[in-house]
Structure 1
């Protein structure tokens, strides 16, 4: 079979190589899956760079989220077992963690449902307890994780303010349903949020960016607000001033969704059932900005690494892209 493999750490476009390899062999409790679609996540770029919290042995195949097909023909969502990631024709995955792909979503959409939307549900609801009528501020609102948070915030009845970089991404955020869109290249984020909320600020902040995005969030978070940290796509990890959190009475929350697979897998299954119901009702639908042929996977991962994309890029088998 063919698979994209990384033999040394570096930029995805430089270190991902398409090779002919043997199919992986399932271990105890694992199954072999035929890959129907692979969603590109920012962690795939970090894996290539050797900067992710998980560092599989070299060589390895990146790709942490797929829609696949079991040997008995079931369409499922899975997180492949590294080092045999999803940019391949076949993967292995833990059988107990397989989730049924929603009928309401095609293969590309199903591949983009799992990690981003689960992160949104656990971050917004379990950690931050977002309530109907509250104001939600989403950074990188036109991106993969951010677009999921926007849809989930609207489904919960929140007023959603999206922060983006550039006119093109602003248009995407408006189409997603943001009540207000702030272009960080043109607008003062803090002033705009305070003006839109009558000086109160945002009740919940969803931050996959870090750096300056976090700094500005702390300046416009509401009394008893909650800032949920889900990543550092901007490259800078902020050092919060805890005295500021004390005097303003707000909470800083971390969200590492992957831990729930270890600590509370039943909650992951319940979340998937909720997301499946949302998809059936049309409340959520992954934003697929590009469906990429398998042979162009490395260039597509590099685009995500460079932060130039909106929504999700999904890699499909050769011949499946029309």
Structure 2
């Protein structure tokens, strides 16, 4: 039995764990009324994230889910109703993270109010979705965590992808000299179009040597690494004195995230910093620190970053990296293509209600 304030919504549901193209099914789901600190959004658009694939396959141990569930870690739409504390957002168009980071692949979604960021009228739904995680994460990683300075050299791995493209764009906006890695000539060209100063194919056996040569033997000042595995270990050899290696993800070994493959010698002898990056805006960072042991930025910090990023977008100093605009029916196949590393930039789904 459902609450009278619940809504029925069309959604893509993971009916079991496995390949998205095989286990996703279109169904109607119940979206409950928002509780305190939550908002319910009439969804206009959302992006496909690689972590969505990890969740659907059951290999994301940070956030394990049991089917059936609706994937989707981001959403753009108009706030239709709100719980205590967020009534002022009703009628506003926002981008945010659904409750417990899933539920976005639906016509309506419950969103954590602390993550909701308002979008101006001049920004389209597509650009609003495409700016959210890549640009906010890139800003937090490079501006806040790495303190990237103009004139420094930044190495960005998987720079043609959704997350990497954001780091490339923000790095250039902050005045860095950017070395981008990617795995094909098509993707390298895409990185050039986004503004990369140098591109390196990470499939080349000597890619580390190429990066070091591009720094005249000095190594890079900052590395943005959301890949993990052997790429992380090889990147240690690219780091310069007092460099900052940003660990923003580990797609190569998502199932090994708690196993520990990093040893201290490379950092100690290399005299560089290893910097963790996890971006979740919360209302009470102290409470999160006490309960989970994590350090997550406050909502107020996210709002300040949002204003700065919107101004950079408005003035044309940065842009979003939209690879493809997708329809609702294309989602399973698009996730398959993303998993096979066949996509570039952000894949944005736009809901057409006719």
Shorter-chain TM range is over 0.9
Answer yes or no: is the 8 Å Cα contact 1:61–1:82 preserved in 2. no
Matched, 1:306 2:340: yes
* Contact in 1 for aligned 2:114/2:299 (Cα 8 Å): no
Tell me how far 1:46 sits from its aligned partner.
1.4
Moved more, 23-32 or 265-274: 23-32
How does 1:191-206 map onto structure 2 within 5 Å? 191-206=209-224
What is the alpha-carbon distance in structure 1 between the residues aligned to residue 93 and residue 282 of structure 2? 23
Q: Please state how far the C-alpha of 1:217 moved relative to its aligned partner.
A: 1.0
**Could you say which residue in structure 2 is the equivalent of 1:16?**
24
| Number of residue pairs matched by the alignment | 320
Deviation at 1:84, TM superposition (A): 5.9
2:251 is paired with a residue whose SS is: coil
Q: CA deviation at 1:95?
A: 3.3
Q: Is the 8 A contact 1:260 1:267 kept in 2?
A: no
Task: Give the secondary structure class of the aligned counterpart of 2:105.
Answer: coil
Of 235-244 and 142-151, deviating more is 235-244
Q: 1:291 aligns with which of 306, 309, 325?
A: 325
2:248 to 230, 246, 249: 230
Residue from 277, 283, 294 that aligns with 2:311: 277
Q: Is 1:62 the counterpart of 2:80 in the alignment?
A: no
Provide the residue aligned with 2:4 in structure 1.
Answer: none
Q: 2:272 aligns with which of 224, 230, 250?
A: 250
Q: Please give the TM-score of this superposition, normalised by the length of structure 2.
A: 0.85
Q: For 1:119 and 1:211, how far apart are their aligned partners in 2?
A: 21
Residue 301 of structure 1 deviates from its aligned partner by 2.0
Decide which moves more: 281-290 or 59-68.
281-290
2: CA distance between counterparts of 1:261 and 1:12? 33
Q: Which structure is richer in relative contact order (CA contacts within 8 A, separation 6 or more)?
A: 1
Indicate how the Cα distance of structure 1 residues 234 and 67 shifts in structure 2: closer, same or farther if over 3 A, else same: same
Displacement of 1:80 = 1.3
Following the alignment from structure 2 to structure 1, what is the Cα–Cα distance between the partners of residues 335 and 123? 23
Worse-superposed segment, 128-137 or 22-31:
22-31
Name the CA distance, whole Å, in 1 between partners of 2:331 and 2:67.
Answer: 19
Query: Could you list the runs of 5+ residues in structure 2 that have no partner in the other structure?
Result: 1-8, 81-89, 286-297
For 1:96 and 1:248, the matched residues in 2 are separated by 39
> After the TM superposition, which residues 31-180 of structure 1 pair with which residues of structure 2 at under 5 Å, given as runs?
31-52=39-60, 53-71=62-80, 73-82=91-100, 85-180=103-198
Secondary structure, counterpart of 1:76 in structure 2: strand
Per-residue CA deviation, residues 272-318 of structure 1 (Å, 9 max, x unaligned), is: 11111111121222211111111221222222222221101011113
CA distance in 1, matches of 2:244, 2:114: 33
Aligned to 1:184: 202
Question: Aligned partners of 1:241 and 1:129: how far apart in 2?
Answer: 24
Contact 1:224 1:250 in 2 (8 A): yes
CA gap 1:244/1:260 in 2 versus in 1, 3 angstroms: farther
1:256, 1:93 → 2: CA distance? 19
In structure 1, runs of 5+ residues without a counterpart are none
- 8 Å contact 2:31–2:110 — kept in the other structure? no
**1:242 positional shift:** 1.2
- 1:168: how far off? 0.6
CA distance in 1, matches of 2:309, 2:131: 8
